[in-house]
Amino acid sequence: MRSYDLAIIGSGPGGYVSGLYASRNELKVCVIEKDLVGGTCLNKGCIPTKSLINSASIFGRLKDAQNYGVDIDGYHVNFQRMMLRKDEVVTRLRAGIETLFKANKIDLIRQNASLKNHNTISLSGSEDIEAKYIVIAAGSKPAKLAGTIVSGEAGVMSSDEALSMKELPKSITIVGGGVIGCEFASLFNLLGVNVAIVEFMDRLIPGQSREASKKLEVIFKKRGIGIFLSSKVEGITGKDPIKISVSGGKLLESEKVLISVGRQSATEGLGLENAGVKVENGKIVVDEYLRANSDNTYAIGDCISGPLLAHKASYDGMLACDNILGKKRMRDYSNVPNCIWTDPEISSVGLTEEEARKRYPDLKIAKFPYLASGKAYLRGSVEGYIKLMGDPEGNIAGVEIMGEGACDLIGEATLARTAGVKIDEWSHVVHGHPTLSEIFHEATHIFAGTPIHGL
């Protein structure tokens, strides 16, 4: 029987990063994957969506290129080429992970895995393997629309199918206005598709602050996206067009429907009960050290609690390894940034305004608009703001950014908050000019009562 220090089930950003980190720490590692290396993130999530969003934003910029002194005639969207580029990016990055596995002497076992007992894993196509430690990184899959009659399924898609469409539809109804639904809405809208969003809650991107939700709603509406909040889809029938009946007697019609109502952990078929691993509310139960049983099995990423994000899965993966190596690290998601690739982008770290107000009645907020940033203005990206929230001791309670580059910019705020930098100290950091990062200089000075370009 093959034997390892560590066997990892799943090669998404949780599993593969964990594998590389463990192997760099001298453990003998195998990663078992039943589908494509890279998991949801690389094959059906972060990377393909962001490749398409990048293509769409190039198209979006061309629309007003004339205003910047660039005359372009006859440009149009070549959706097939866009999809091909997305596939090229994914294939290239997948090959990169496989190369890293080889370079680090990690065995990649392309089979279905299930736990036989605490130390043994059964494989679908070869003999069992043995491991001192096991990390379960089985990820998640799209959730189904509960209680809704869906008939004539053609054209009703999850995000998985939406990423392999052959043609750009003329119209699409997106069921679910969370992060994934809104990113797709923004993408399709940029490409000229007629988009409607139906959301059960009373706002878009419910996990973010009310201000970000409202601003996004206003921007989306201005761009012609139909938004139906506090609305429930009651039935989806027919095709050409598909008819979507929505609570309140509304009937929408579109060529495609994208169901984007969340994700559920992929815990079935893993033989968890054989190793004393428990599942509650669909998620593998872990302790603060990510141990899934009292012994040697850990679980990470989308199949446990916490935000469903690739970087959180990777963080988990490294933390679990550190604990296997005896370092005793407890998980803490309070500095995991949120990044939303709508147009404009939205990002945040720490508490939302609502959470921060509850925790600190004396919360202080500094806001600076993109409109007043030289770099944002010259780029024509004036839609947006940074909101910096501080507790009474001047610690960073939370940061929210909406606007161009928000998902990259949040890195600085994440570093500052993780390192426990006080807002006063942050205001002494020198930022290059003209850059979007100057928004931090402005916001920290507004916070300190010494605004420079802000009011």
Residues that bind ligand FAD (CB under 6 A): 9-15, 32-35, 39-41, 44-46, 49-50, 112-114, 137-140, 159, 180, 266, 269-270, 301-302, 308-311, 313, 339
At closest approach, how far in Å is the CB of 30 from ligand FAD? Answer: 11
Sign of CA dihedral 439, 444, 449, 450: negative
CB nearer to ligand FAD: give 86 or 387: 86
Catalytic pick from 76, 311, 433, 453?
Answer: 433
Q: Considering the complex, what minimum distance in angstroms separates the CB of residue 100 from ligand FAD?
A: 15
Task: Count helices and strands (H / E) in the chain.
Answer: 13, 25
Pair of tokens at residue 388: 């910096």
Token pair of 26, please?
């001298």
Please report, as a single letter, which amino acid is at residue 7: A
Strand spans (E) along 60-170: 107-109, 113-115, 120-123, 129-136, 140-142, 149-150, 156-157
Smallest Cα–Cα separation from 85: which of 77, 73, 75?
77
User: Considering beta carbons, is residue 35 or 161 the nearer one to ligand FAD?
Assistant: 35
CB nearer to ligand FAD: give 124 or 237: 124
Q: Look at residue 368 and give its three-state secondary structure.
A: strand
Residue nearer to ligand FAD on the CB measure, 182 or 339: 339
Q: Quick check: bond before 241 cis, omega within 30?
A: yes
Give whichever of 34 and 453 is closer to ligand FAD, judged by the CB atom.
34
**Cβ nearer to ligand FAD, comparing 236 with 340:** 340
Decide: helix, strand or coil at residue 98.
Answer: helix
Q: Which residue from 87, 57, 80 is spatially nearest to 380, judged by alpha carbons? A: 57
102 with 31: CB under 8 angstroms?
no
Give min distance, CB of 224 to ligand FAD, in A: 23
453 counts as catalytic: no
Q: Cis peptide before 307, with omega less than 30 degrees from 0?
A: no
Cis amide leading into 434 (omega within 30): yes
How far is the C-alpha of 100 from the C-alpha of 12, rounded, in Å?
A: 14
Q: Is the distance from CB of 344 to CB of 403 less than 8 angstroms?
A: yes
Write the single-letter amino acid at 14: G
DSSP-based three-state secondary structure for 235: strand
Annotated catalytic sites, by residue? Answer: 433
